[in-house]
Amino acid sequence: MVMPQIKEVLGSEETPKPDNAVVARGISKTYGDVEALKDLTLEFPRGQLTSLLGPSGCGKTTLLKIIAGLLEPNAGEVEVNGKPVTGPGPDRAFVFQDFALLPWASVIRNVAFALELRGVAKSEREAIAEKYIADVGLSGFEKSYPHQLSGGMRQRVGLARALSVDADVLLMDEPFSAVDEQTRRKFQEDLLNLVQNENKTFIFVTHSIEEAVYVSDQIAILLPRPSRVSEIIRPTGLRNKNVDNIRRDSEYLDIVDSIWASLRSYVE
Amino acid sequence: MTIYGYRLPAMSSLILWGLLWEIVGRMGLTFFVPPLSEVFVTLFSVVGTAPFLKALSETAYAFSAGVMFAIVIGIPLGIMMGKNRLVDELFLPWVNMFLSAPLTALVPVLMVLFGFGMKSIIITTTLFAIWIIILNTRAGVLQINRSLVEMARCYGANPLQAFYKIYFWAALPEILGGVRIGVIRAVKGVIIGQLLISIVGFGALFELYANNFLMSHFWAVLLVLFALAFSVSEILAYLERRVSYYAAKR
């Protein structure tokens, strides 16, 4: 059972100087002639979950990969903890849409893989991995291989790997889109707990309005052609309510409706 | 396969062909085909003699050295071609050309360049095996899941780590397939080398038996060679099956 008091969110608007873990300033990115992002500026408050929501082709995954340091913007810069991003770094961890697990490696080696790359000794990294495997609820599957697991379990492995490096910022690229509906709901509940318990900043790409409203402290609505942040919504009230009731809360339904109203004309 | 409810063991067709061989041999139609039983009797008398063991060790040495070079050079080159567009543009035309080139015609050139000894034989063997290993490795790397590469970059893999912790393993099913075909081609390469460059090893035995019309000896050595090539190929096929569990799920 999830505790009713999820999180106390101060209205960031009123705070004089918000503490931002990640800031994207004036980001532009073009692929050939296609403008994926144009002069996009967005702030990601520390310890909160920010969703990037929008129709397909609005550049939300592009923005996430620029923050990860996997793509380089044509203009603008990203700062993580005040330092400009020049490439991937240990302050950020990535959760992939297709899980990106090594199919030839066991669960424990997959979870410990990021630490393995950093040269952490085997016994030490496996001890850390075991802890996170237990945290995501996969105890007993350490020796299993990804093809023996369900989609939801595979994404738990991906999540454990991202947690194992203890990065400040967790970047999640549509992490639940490849798992079934029931597993997704469980994931969303777990994610709320994670945001509450881990002092991390989450950046979460999704195309599901309901999912965004359910899990986010802040929702950035991205619209295509040219891609930009059209609106930032903070469902502050929802975060203080019992998660079990959120989905029939009138505020939740209102926010979902208003987001759909602003997005519907962009959906083909 | 089952016939009239009986399950036939694997390769039972060989029994049929063996019988046919025996009958044709006994009919004495041509000196070229002695009865299979005679071939086997010869085989057991030849195996264990000093000349045979010498030929076997010479051939095995040239073969394994040639295959080793093909693997050690071919796999890294194939991975680099799959990873790097520039390297690919540079080498792909040559690889494709040599894959289909009549390499036997090149052997005299090799003799001029590298002499008449073991060195030329090993190089011939390598040339027969390497191209398909390169091409298969390259194909394996090209189909690698992009997000695995991004994952490695994201979590701080340096290029060397990406090479041997991601690319090699992700391409391993294709690499093993390439090595298996390469090894079969290397068998041809080593025998052609031993026939054309210097008459040593099994090549010398073939030459000797064929020139003296010792057909049952000839067939006996051919059977031994076939058995060796088949075993090596089966070992590699076994390794391929070991990694097939992830071949479809990368």
Nearest by CB to A90, from B153, B156, B161: name it. Answer: B156
CB atoms within 10 A of CB B78: 31
CB distance B155–A165 less than 8 Å? yes
User: Is residue A127 located within the same domain as residue A252?
Assistant: no
* Residue A134, domain member (yes or no): yes
* Residue A247, domain member (yes or no): yes
Minimal-distance CA residue of chain A relative to B150: A70
User: Is residue A151 located within the same domain as residue A210?
Assistant: no
User: Is residue A161 located within the same domain as residue A185?
Assistant: no
User: Is residue A106 located within the same domain as residue A178?
Assistant: no
Nearest by CB to B154, from A94, A103, A145: name it. Answer: A94
User: Is residue A162 located within the same domain as residue A174?
Assistant: no
Structure tokens at A176: 């639940």
* Residue A125, domain member (yes or no): yes
CB distance B152–A117 less than 8 Å? yes
Write down the ipTM of this complex: 0.85
Pick the last residue of a domain from A150, A166, A182.
A166
User: Is residue A184 located within the same domain as residue A267?
Assistant: yes
* Domains and their CATH numbers in chain B: 35-247 (1.10.3720.10)
The per-residue pLDDT string of chain B (250 residues; one tens digit each, 9 = 90 and over) reads 777 878 777 778 888 898 999 999 888 888 888 888 989 999 999 888 888 899 999 999 999 999 999 999 999 999 999 999 999 999 999 999 999 888 888 888 888 898 888 899 999 999 999 999 999 999 999 999 889 999 999 999 998 999 899 999 999 999 999 999 999 999 999 999 988 888 888 888 888 888 888 888 999 999 998 898 889 989 999 998 888 877 766 5
User: Is residue A67 located within the same domain as residue A174?
Assistant: yes
Give the minimum alpha-carbon distance from B143 to chain A in angstroms, rounded to a whole number. Answer: 14
Which positions in chain A touch B151 (Cβ < 8 Å)?
Answer: 94, 96, 100
Minimal-distance CA residue of chain B relative to A71: B150
CB distance A97–B147 less than 8 Å? yes
Give the minimum alpha-carbon distance from A164 to chain B in angstroms, rounded to a whole number. Answer: 11
Structurally, chain A folds into a number of domains equal to: 2
Is the pLDDT confidence value at A250 over 70? yes
User: Is residue A63 located within the same domain as residue A153?
Assistant: no
More confident residue, A244 or A41: A41
The CATH number covering residue A67 comes to: 3.40.50.300
User: Is residue A231 located within the same domain as residue A175?
Assistant: yes
DSSP B70-98: HHHHHHHHHHHHHH-HHHHHHHHHHHHHH
* Residue A248, domain member (yes or no): yes
Tens-digit pLDDT profile for residues A94-142: 999 999 999 999 999 999 999 999 999 999 999 999 999 999 999 999 9
Is the pLDDT confidence value at A2 over 80? no
Pick the last residue of a domain from A166, A184, A219.
A166
* Residue A65, domain member (yes or no): yes
Pick the last residue of a domain from A124, A139, A166.
A166
- pLDDT at position B15 is 87
Minimal-distance CA residue of chain A relative to B242: A104
* Residue A110, domain member (yes or no): yes
Q: Which residues pair with A79 in a beta bridge?
A: A23, A84
Mean pLDDT (chain A) is 86
CA count, 13 A, side-chain hemisphere, B116? 5
Tell me the count of A-B CB pairs closer than 8 A.
Answer: 62
User: Is residue A178 located within the same domain as residue A101?
Assistant: no
- pLDDT at position B250 is 58
Hey, of B146, B148, B149, B154, which one would you mutate to test binding to chain A, going by the most A CBs within 10 A of its CB?
B154
CA distance A118 to B51: 56
User: Is residue A161 located within the same domain as residue A182?
Assistant: no
Structure tokens at A256: 């979902």
* Residue A224, domain member (yes or no): yes
Give the minimum alpha-carbon distance from A104 to chain B in angstroms, rounded to a whole number. Answer: 6
Dihedral in degrees, nearest 10, Cα atoms B96, B101, B107, B109? -80
Domain that holds residue A128: 92-166
Nearest by CB to B156, from A97, A103, A118: name it. Answer: A118
* Residue A122, domain member (yes or no): yes
The contacts of residue A25 (CB under 8 Å, 6+ apart) are A41, A76, A77, A78, A79
Nearest by CB to A147, from B145, B153, B245: name it. Answer: B245
- pLDDT at position A8 is 46
Write down the residue that tokens 């810069």 correspond to: A77
pLDDT band at A84 (very low <50, low <70, confident <90, very high): very high
The contacts of residue B36 (CB under 8 Å, 6+ apart) are B18, B21, B22, B25
- pLDDT at position B204 is 87
